[in-house]
Structure 1
Amino acid sequence: MNSSYGSDDMNQEHFSDIKLCDIHETFRKHLNSRFKSDRKLADNLYAIEFEQQKFNCETCIQVAFAVHDCSKYWFMNFYYNFLTPMIDMNRVHLIYCDTYFMMLAVAGDPKKKYKQGFSTVIEDKEFYDQNFYKFFPKPKQVITNESQSILDKIEQLEERKLKIKELQIENEKKPLGVAYEHCGSTIIALAPKNYWLRQEF
């Protein structure tokens, strides 16, 4: 669904096909019938632009707009009706968001590791307990407990593990759900779609 949000109404006709080449490869690309222009980026680095030979246009514009409108509605619903009432927004900064994802800087507990999520900035614990797992994936233990009747019918241990994994993935991919993609201790966002996230391994 993520790719649908971004590409359904993308006008690919005006997109450029650009390749980075050294000086020798640049000379060879000049002989290509699709060659359009070049630009010197460094002493031995050139950006070569080619003319598009084909582009896809398989989605009608009404469907594209409907997908975008729906995604934005649920995105705003999540932010304003769930996230904002639940956490202390004085300790959370919205760095950047797109149609289907957001980047947040959370001023959590400095004594804990950076993977603490929202645990230290929760303002309304009751609201959190009632609504958190409507959006976020449930922990393995919760899924196991809730699915005990299904798991009891499976005798083999390996099959049980596979079933639990399947249920976890199913829960993570639930419609209109939210999942953590990356966590890091530092993020620098220079411009839209231009950011650097530090991840300690």
Structure 2
Amino acid sequence: MIFNNYYLWLLIDLGFVITDYKAIAVFEKNAAYEPFVRTMMNLRIQSILAGSTKEKFYKLIINSSYGYDTLNAEKFGKMKFLDKAGTFIAQHHPNHMGTKRISANTFAVQIKPRIATCFTSIQSGVFTLDNAKYWYLNYISNFMYKCLDRKRFHFVLAETDSIYIAISGDPNKDCHQQFESIVTDMQFYDQHVYNYLPDPNKDIYDYKKILGFGIENEGYELTSLGPKCYSMIVNKWNNEKQQYEFKPKITSKGISKSQQISHSDYVNVINKDIVKKGINGTLKMYDNVMSSIKVEKYALTGFNNKSIVLRNQCCCQYIKGLTAKDYIIKDQ
């Protein structure tokens, strides 16, 4: 398993023991990405204050630098359209990746290029995910576990830049109470809470501070079947009606929104083991004839292949050589 230095140092502070290592890679410090992020964030905040739609543009620039540039797999594969003779020669090339037939004498051949261009520093691309783990672990271990009642909150799911937490708060208060009802050490909480969460007495610059947590959605019900596959009943403010409204926020990566998936479909997968099916439509051409193909696929299931699921429904990351039997569950 690979760790970067910040993530590894924090794990060691929390009791992680290293018995062996395979290799150590040294990277030069790259300080160019930090002022780029700060500049784009300041421009984004100014656009929000001015009510300009450029806010989405600046957000896209920051996200594109990592997602579309560093993680874009298209630049690692070059596509050529060849006839039978050219395809036969290309398939014997050591950089050949795959071949797909388009028509009777036309083939799409994918070849791995010798070089790939990336305008984002390699440090940013390699360490972004580990830095997210570091920041989550630091927030959870050095803040939440020290001042909140562990029995009254539960981690539902997490992504690279977001985390979803279910809180058993005060039933007499609404869903906007945050951690108020489960604080066990109020002095520690008041001292450190605004190092992470936004201070309501400050402006948007504090709400959008780098490496800070901004509250995106709050609601009363959250059902998750896996990463990027969840449904949440959010309670959001409607500017036109000047009141809060309950609306389902459905996220299903790789599933078309035209499948008419509802919040109850997520609940039925867990409670009733009902699989939700969907139809994906594609267009394909063969011998100059265009065909419409519809394939029925499973849209929502209870199967999770992104992590190791233990018998108490806890999800653990994959570690080479470990299975679910290697994890020890401490019964309360």
Band the TM-score falls in, shorter-chain normalisation: 0.5 to 0.7
- Is the CA contact 1:5–1:68 (under 8 Å) kept in the aligned structure 2? no
Q: C-alpha distance in 2, partners of 1:100/1:5?
A: 12
User: How far has the Cα of 1:173 moved from its partner?
Assistant: 1.6
Cα-to-partner distance string for 1:95-136 (whole Å, 9 max, x where unaligned): 001222110000111111111111101111111011111111
CA contact under 8 A between 2:66 and 2:120: conserved in structure 1? no
Write the mapping of 1:14-163 to structure 2, written as runs, cut at 5 A: 57-140=118-201, 143=202
Identity of aligned residues (%): 35
After superposition, the Cα gap between the structure-2 partners of 1:6 and 1:110, relative to the gap in structure 1 and judged at 3 Å, is farther
Distance 1:68 1:183 in 2: 25
C-alpha distance in 2, partners of 1:6/1:119? 36
**Residues 36/169 of structure 1: CA separation in 2 closer, same or farther (3 Å cut):** farther
The verdict on how the C-alpha distance between 1:14 and 1:188 changes in structure 2, with shifts beyond 3 A counting, is farther
Query: CA offsets per residue over residues 18-72 of structure 1, 9 Å max, x none?
Result: xxxxxxxxxxxxxxxxx999xxxxxxxxxxxxx99xx984334333113333232
Distance 1:36 1:64 in 2: 34
Q: What letter matches 1:190 in structure 2?
A: L
Q: CA deviation at 1:199?
A: 1.8
Q: Distance in 2 between matches of 1:195 and 1:77?
A: 25
Contact 2:66 2:124 in 1 (8 A): no
Structure 2, gaps ≥5 residues long:
1-36, 38-61, 77-99, 103-108, 111-115, 236-244, 246-332
Partner of 1:43: none
RMSD over equivalenced CA pairs, Å: 3.1
Q: Which residue, 212, 220, 240 being the options, matches 1:177?
A: 212
How does 1:2-17 map onto structure 2 within 5 Å?
Answer: 3=63, 9-13=70-74
Q: 1:194 aligns with which of 225, 229, 238?
A: 229
Corresponding residue SS for 1:137: coil
**Distance in 1 of aligned mates of 2:139 and 2:167:** 17
Structure 1: segments with no counterpart, 5+ residues: 16-34, 38-50, 144-167
Whether the 8 Å CA contact 1:189–1:195 is kept in 2: the answer is yes
Instruction: For 1:91 and 1:195, locate their aligned partners in 2 and report how far apart those are by CA, in whole Å.
Output: 21
- Which structure has greater strand proportion? 2
Q: AA paired with 1:122?
A: V
Answer whether contact 1:183 1:199 (CA < 8 A) is retained: yes
* Structure with a larger share of its residues in helix: 1
1:89/1:96 CA distance change after superposition, 3 Å? same
Q: Secondary structure at the match of 2:222?
A: strand
Provide the C-alpha distance between the structure 2 equivalents of 1:14 and 1:90, rounded to a whole number of angstroms. Answer: 47
1:131 aligns to what SS in structure 2?
helix
Are 2:155 and 2:166, in contact at CA under 8 Å, matched by a contact in 1? Answer: yes
Per-residue CA deviation, residues 160-194 of structure 1 (Å, 9 max, x unaligned), is xxxxxxxx111112232111110010001012101
Aligned residues: 142
What is residue 47 of structure 1 aligned with on the other side?
A: none
Q: Which has the higher contact order (CA 8 A, sep 6+)?
A: 1
Counterpart CA distance in 1 for 2:206 and 2:143 is 19
TM-score norm. by structure 2 comes to: 0.38
